[in-house]
Chains A and B, each alone.
Chain A
Amino acid sequence: MSASDEKNVSDDTQLASHFFGELLDSVIMDVASECHRIARLGLDRNLDDEEEELRLSAEARARVADPSNSEANSKYVVDIFGQTHPAVAAEIFDCMNCGRSIVAGRFAPHLEKCMGKGRKARVKSTRSSTAAAAQNR
């Protein structure tokens, strides 16, 4: 590149930077004006509360995602409402199949046995199902 070419390029860049600076200042002015309006009209109160909420939920998420928390003391993890839950659900209710009192945390395995394979509690065969089974043999 000749010396004059180099000068032209740097002039160009300088001019472009000058205009970019002007545009940027203009945009900054607009943003400042908007923020000023929000501040003076007190429109940012709601935004502040929302921000606080976002921050707290982000913190809670970080705590949950943090591996040092989960395995060791999972029984004492606090959820977003501030409640702790035991590892095994403790509520007791009646099974709708056999009518016994079951602990909620043990309901699924109970239901398996109650409705399915074990303790000779099979589904009572109806006429149509036995007839169909007989036919297929």
Chain B
Amino acid sequence: MRASIKRPPTPDAEEEEEDQHREASLEEIINIKLIESGEKERLKELLRERLNECGWKDDMKSFTRKKGRNNVTVDDLVHLITPKGRAAVPDSVKAELLQRIRSFLHSTPL
């Protein structure tokens, strides 16, 4: 049986006030704009499509198969794939995505 779920302690009144005054960082602002405009989803789909086309996904899948299938967790696989996956992205795919992100950054008023 799991132990009862522990809730994080409710923040004090003091902390709440501080949160309200904290400014969102530039990253957070852009992230919100990306999500709200739907561009983040589009970018993710684009990335997925490109990685599929070039066989990156198949490479990653066969890589995980080699490592055996006994009681692996998703975490194990993520830690397994991440370094290899990051390195294996083709330069053209990376450049295309970076270009799209950059043009989004320039097109939104900040």
* Partner among A15, A26, A31 whose Cβ is within 8 Å of the Cβ of B61: A31
**What CA separation (Å) do A15 and B34 show in the bound complex?**
12
User: What interface size band does chain A fall in?
Assistant: 20 to 34
* Residue A18 lies at the interface, judged by CB distance under 8 Å to chain B: yes
Which chain B residues numbered 73 to 98 have a C-beta less than 8 Å away from chain A? 73-74, 77-78, 80-82, 85-86, 89, 94, 97-98
**What CA separation (Å) do A6 and B72 show in the bound complex?**
46
A41 nearest in chain B by CB position: B69
Check A31/B26 contact, CB under 8 A, given A12-B102, A16-B98.
Answer: no
Structural contact, A27 and B78, CB atoms closer than 8 A: no
Check A28/B82 contact, CB under 8 A, given A16-B98, A36-B72, A48-B65.
Answer: yes
Interface secondary structure of B, over-half rule: helix
Which chain A residues numbered 8 to 57 have a C-beta less than 8 Å away from chain B? 12-13, 15-21, 23-36, 38-40, 42, 44, 47-48, 51
**What CA separation (Å) do A59 and B65 show in the bound complex?**
21
Structural contact, B81 and A27, CB atoms closer than 8 A: no
**Min C-beta distance of B40 to chain A, whole Å:** 8
* Partner among B26, B43, B81, B97 whose Cβ is within 8 Å of the Cβ of A28: B81
Structural contact, A19 and B30, CB atoms closer than 8 A: yes
Check A19/B77 contact, CB under 8 A, given A12-B102, A24-B47, A27-B48.
Answer: no
Further contacts, 4 of them, CB under 8 A, given A18-B27, A23-B44, A27-B44: A20-B94, A25-B82, A31-B61, A39-B72
Q: Which residues of B contact A (CB under 8 A)?
A: 26-27, 30-31, 34, 40, 43-44, 47-48, 51, 57, 60-62, 64-65, 69, 72-74, 77-78, 80-82, 85-86, 89, 94, 97-98, 101-102, 105-106
| 26 A–B contacts from the bound complex (CB under 8 Å) | A13-B98, A15-B26, A15-B27, A16-B98, A17-B98, A18-B27, A19-B30, A19-B101, A23-B40, A23-B44, A23-B47, A23-B97, A25-B82, A27-B44, A30-B48, A31-B61, A31-B85, A32-B74, A32-B78, A33-B74, A35-B64, A35-B65, A35-B77, A40-B72, A44-B65, A44-B69
